[in-house]
Structure 1
Amino acid sequence: MIADAPSVDDRKPAAVALILRQVGAGQELLFIERAHHPDDPWSGNIGFPGGRRDPVDETLRHTAERETMEEVGIDLSGACYLGRLSDIVGANLPVRVSCFVYGLAEQVEPTVSPEVHDVFWFALHELVAPQRQLTAQVSFGGKLLEAPAIDLGLPGKAVLWGITYRLVNQFREVLESGEERQLPYELPL
């Protein structure tokens, strides 16, 4: 017998921070490569800093900010909060991820925590380049899956896929639609 998919209420809340910085005439996004742990279904994957909501978190935005500080040592309290993307539900695990977008006016140097293998910036225009888009074979939970992905072209790094891929595309669509001009803030980028 196949169990029913979990209802939306059964999904564990999590939050991530999409962090932008201006470099020359373009923007870069901050990514992490998760540490490699056999018990972590996202082990070694590329993502945004973030994690599951903790009982001490007043809101999911606080979760994103706390997790960002813990994972990469960036304090987002002084960053420009730009808004929230639509939540994404996991296709393979019962999780609901909220994504909060921040712009950094100052250059910061991220630090790597034990939860993170690497931290790096990647140009936004490169993320949306057609030649980087592909369907890739990825491993998740001991299974091989075919998934839409972005080849970052970085030696030794996995492709960007899954929830982070979906969030990057959602962010790109917001930028292309011009919706950010209707928001009650100005992009500092």
Structure 2
Amino acid sequence: MRPRELPLRRRLARASVALIYRQAEDGGVELLFIQRARREGDPWSGDMAFPGGRMQPEDATPRAVAERETLEETGVDLTRHGHFQARLSDLVTRQHNRWRPMVVTPYVYEWRGPQAVSPNHEVEQMVWISLDYLAAKENQSRLPWRTPLGTLKLPCCRYQGYCIWGLSYSMLQELLALDVIGH
């Protein structure tokens, strides 16, 4: 199955993220998540996410954005120690401070570099989570989300005190369904 590419994506604001996995010491596979730093006015403050960010004029490609932003946010150098595996489907969200649409493109990498990382001010925590845990039905849950029309119960995965939901959860589900990485 090919990833979905949204028409007109080149005319919209763009962002990219990196889904990074590594072989765990127990022989399994782990996926890297960041917990976003808590900041006033940031609607996703404190949320679990994949490293990434907005495309800048100097970025050659959306994939280069994922690599640059990952290095800036986490110290993980995908150009040196990451092995590109796949591109997932484009998703649409809104820009932080406005209601304009933004296309987010996820890229999957295998990490073969050093374990030491250095998160910057945008990242509160970096967490490696077992892919088997993320795929297990018993770890799936619902997150109540208040809207002016009532409360929605959004699908999520809970791990320790963390909750993976929204775009990150959608990307995770596509990754698991495509079985790009063995687990």
Q: Which has the higher strand share?
A: 2
The offset of 1:100, in angstroms, is 0.8
The offset of 1:41, in angstroms, is 1.7
The C-alpha deviation readout for 1:5-50, integer Å capped at 9, x for no partner, is xx95564210000001001321000000001112222111100000
SS in 2 for 1:36: coil
Task: Give the conservation status (yes or no) of the 8 Å contact 1:13–1:97.
Answer: yes
| 1:27-176 matched pairs, under 5 angstroms | 27-78=29-80, 79-90=82-93, 94-138=101-145, 145-152=152-159, 154-155=160-161, 157=162, 159-175=163-179
The offset of 1:165, in angstroms, is 0.2
Structure 2 CA distance, aligned partners of 1:27 and 1:107?
A: 16
Report sequence identity in percent: 36
Task: Give the conservation status (yes or no) of the 8 Å contact 1:74–1:108.
Answer: no
- Aligned residue identity for 1:85: L
Structure 2 CA distance, aligned partners of 1:139 and 1:151?
A: 19
SS in 1 for 2:22: strand
Unpaired stretches in structure 2, ≥5 consecutive residues = 1-6
Structure 1 CA distance, aligned partners of 2:182 and 2:77?
A: 18
Task: Give the conservation status (yes or no) of the 8 Å contact 1:111–1:119.
Answer: no
Coordinate RMSD, CA, aligned:
2.4
Structure 1 CA distance, aligned partners of 2:146 and 2:56?
A: 28
Structure 2 CA distance, aligned partners of 1:13 and 1:98?
A: 8
Q: Which residue of 1 aligns with 2:4?
A: none
The offset of 1:91, in angstroms, is 7.3
Task: Give the conservation status (yes or no) of the 8 Å contact 1:34–1:116.
Answer: yes
- TM-score normalised to the size of structure 2? 0.83
Task: Give the conservation status (yes or no) of the 8 Å contact 1:136–1:147.
Answer: yes
Structure 2 CA distance, aligned partners of 1:81 and 1:40?
A: 30
Structure 2 CA distance, aligned partners of 1:163 and 1:85?
A: 12
- Aligned residue identity for 1:42: W
The offset of 1:163, in angstroms, is 0.3
The C-alpha deviation readout for 1:106-144, integer Å capped at 9, x for no partner, is 34222121011111100000001111111111479xx96
